[in-house]
């Protein structure tokens, strides 16, 4: 499968595990990780710092003491990041395009097999686990119980109302069938059974490509950033309120 790294896989191909990991060398893929590393990750760290202020205001201590928290949190971040790496590589190779419509236009072939047989957004669990790991490292109960669920809601809303309408426009009725057959983030038993048998969700294998990737949906990235900034401001306000209560 090493040859698959030189270019996107054909529409009928199901990329192997190592090919998905090796695909990180392609700029269309690693540009997505740049956004996560230099925008999303610092945003999560900022939220954890604000959450520590909330913890102090509420008189909450660490749930897990160091160094155990550091080891556990690092393992969660590593496992979550590895999951996102694999899922993005799979979508890039099988979908013949960047995983992010906001970076390089997105995939040109509907992918309904592999991890996409289980749920429509298989990168979300990995991102959630990694963010939770950061919260464990910081030892913030407020982040894990309050901020993290809001982050998950933010991710689900942006996926549903920013990404999926673009997929509707690009793939039409085929994507509508896929959305009806596959849940967003919690797999159904029938989906798990299809995945174990190596079956596709709606038999989209072999469908022709929609053509060249369209221009990047920059408005999507703008809304991501605005949403992230809005949450940081919300959490900063909560931290100030908590500090006032403590005083």
pLDDT tens for 77-117 read 999 999 999 999 999 898 887 776 666 667 888 899 999 99
Spatial CA neighbour of 83 closest among 126, 22, 114: 126
* 36 Cβ contact list (under 8 Å, min separation 6): 84
pTM across the whole model: 0.81
What are the C-alpha distances in Å from 148 to residues 32, 34, 54, 83, 215? Answer: 22, 22, 14, 19, 32
Question: How far is 10 from 7, CA to CA, in rounded Å?
Answer: 9
Spatial CA neighbour of 142 closest among 242, 72, 233: 242
Percent of the chain surpassing pLDDT 90: 32
**In the structure encoding, which two tokens stand for residue 75, read together?**
């393992």
Spatial CA neighbour of 220 closest among 140, 112, 105, 66: 105
* pLDDT over 70 (residue 214): no
Instruction: Tell me which CATH code domain 13-246 carries.
Output: 1.20.120
* 98 Cβ contact list (under 8 Å, min separation 6): 28, 29, 31, 32, 92, 104, 105, 106, 107, 213
Give mean pLDDT, residues 187-192: 92
Whether the CB-CB separation of 138 and 48 falls below 8 Å is answered with yes
Question: How far is 190 from 196, CA to CA, in rounded Å?
Answer: 10
All structural domains of the chain with their residue ranges:
13-246
């Amino acid at each position: 499968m090493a040859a698959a790294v030189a270019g996107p896989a054909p529409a009928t191909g199901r990329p192997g595990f190592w090919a998905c990991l090796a695909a990180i060398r392609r700029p269309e893929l690693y540009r997505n990780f740049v956004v996560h590393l230099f925008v999303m990750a610092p945003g999560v760290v900022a939220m954890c710092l604000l959450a520590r202020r909330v913890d102090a205001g509420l008189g909450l201590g660490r749930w897990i003491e160091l160094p155990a928290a550091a080891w556990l949190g690092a393992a969660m971040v590593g496992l979550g990041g590895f999951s996102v790496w694999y899922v993005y590589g799979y979508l890039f190779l099988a979908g013949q395009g960047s995983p992010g419509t906001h970076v390089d236009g997105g995939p040109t072939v509907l992918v309904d097999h592999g991890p996409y047989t289980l749920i429509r957004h298989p990168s979300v669990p990995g991102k959630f686990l990694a963010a939770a790991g950061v919260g464990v490292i910081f030892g913030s109960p407020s982040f894990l119980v309050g901020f993290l669920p809001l982050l998950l809601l933010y991710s689900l809303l942006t996926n549903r109302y920013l990404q999926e309408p673009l997929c509707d426009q690009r793939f039409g009725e085929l994507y509508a069938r896929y959305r009806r057959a596959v849940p967003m983030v919690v797999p159904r038993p029938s989906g798990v059974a299809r995945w174990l048998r190596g079956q596709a969700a709606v038999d989209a294998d072999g469908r022709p490509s929609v053509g060249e990737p369209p221009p990047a949906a920059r408005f999507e990235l703008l809304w991501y950033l605005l949403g992230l900034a809005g949450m940081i401001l919300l959490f900063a306000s909560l931290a100030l309120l908590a500090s006032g209560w403590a005083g």
